[in-house]
Amino acid sequence: MSDWSPAQYRKFAEERAQPIHDLLALVEPGRIGRAVDLGCGPGELTVVVADRTGASDIVGVDNSPAMLASAAEHIRAGVSFASGDLGVWTSKGDHDLVFANASLHWTADHPAVLARWTAALAPGGQLAVQVPANAYMPAHLLADEVARREPYCSAMGGDPPPDPVAANVLAPEEYAQLLYDLGFERQHVRLQVYPHVLPSTRHVVEWLRGTALTRFEKLLDPSLYTQFLAEYEGALLQRVGDHTPYFFPFRRVLLWGTLPR
């Protein structure tokens, strides 16, 4: 079974970093002592969060051994990394900031997960989360469609894993309601479209290989996964056209809230 690939994920580092800066702009300055970056990936952005917020103690949590091995390069005073499952992570009201960029969608039941993350916040603590909301896009729908074809479908037990964004991500107003119900005193929830311009349509496959397609890579043997990628690329070019460059709009939900002091 394959793990996440930090190298593949970093191929679009600049584009993937854009929402983190928008999310950090929502975090209010002030004394941030203890913080956590849930689903921290290869760790570069955990350091950005530490530097921008001035957090004195931030732990990046991830469940991918490859991502954690890569993150180890970024360990320094006040920045550490730990293995953990963000779907069950919580703590006892002792964090000033719970931060999660592009990771919450990999878990189900966001009301329960966000309730656990909120329980980890101290009075006045801040929650800042970004999730993709792009399940309707042709590239994502098509990946599911090709995964349901043979021989891939049978190789994945007749039940290819669904797109986590389609399965798990809520509407922006549902997150707003959740933050209200969880007792956040102030909040900011918005849907933002990131206008990425990729060198060509084919680069969409490279983009998704770093994220959404990893769920198939984990279940298919390497030669079948290579075959899947080629079939998916062919189907994508047929569906959306072979463009150079290719405009790839990407919808994301940004949510931020602060608890009363």
Ligand X SMILES: C[S@@+](CC[C@H](N)C(=O)[O-])C[C@H]1O[C@@H](n2cnc3c(N)ncnc32)[C@H](O)[C@@H]1O
Please, which residue, 58 or 86, has the CB nearer to ligand X?
86
Q: How far is the CB of 43 from ligand X (least distance, A)?
A: 8
Nearest to 32 by CA among 85, 90, 78, 82: 78
Q: How far is Cα 115 from Cα 120, in angstroms, rounded to an integer?
A: 9
Q: How far is Cα 257 from Cα 177, in angstroms, rounded to an integer?
A: 11
Could you tell me the two tokens for 174?
A: 């549902």
Q: How far is Cα 150 from Cα 131, in angstroms, rounded to an integer?
A: 31
Q: How far is the CB of 38 from ligand X (least distance, A)?
A: 7
Please, which residue, 75 or 153, has the CB nearer to ligand X?
75
Q: How far is the CB of 44 from ligand X (least distance, A)?
A: 7
Q: Which residue is nearest to ligand X (CB)?
A: 41
Please, which residue, 193 or 230, has the CB nearer to ligand X?
193
Please, which residue, 87 or 257, has the CB nearer to ligand X?
87
Cβ neighbours of residue 59 closer than 8 Å, sequence gap 6 or more: 35, 36, 37, 80, 81, 82
Q: How far is the CB of 223 from ligand X (least distance, A)?
A: 24
* Binding positions for ligand X, rule: CB under 6 A: 4, 16, 20, 39-41, 45, 62-64, 67, 85-87, 101-103, 106-107, 211
Q: How far is the CB of 23 from ligand X (least distance, A)?
A: 9
Please, which residue, 49 or 182, has the CB nearer to ligand X?
49
Which stretches does DSSP call E strand in the chain?
A: 34-38, 57-62, 79-83, 95-101, 121-132, 186-198, 246-258
What amino acid is encoded at 163 in this protein? D
Q: Residue 241 has what DSSP assignment?
A: -
3-state helix, strand, coil in the chain (%, to 5): 45, 25, 35
Please, which residue, 103 or 201, has the CB nearer to ligand X?
103
Q: How far is the CB of 11 from ligand X (least distance, A)?
A: 12
The residue assigned the tokens 């350091």 is 47
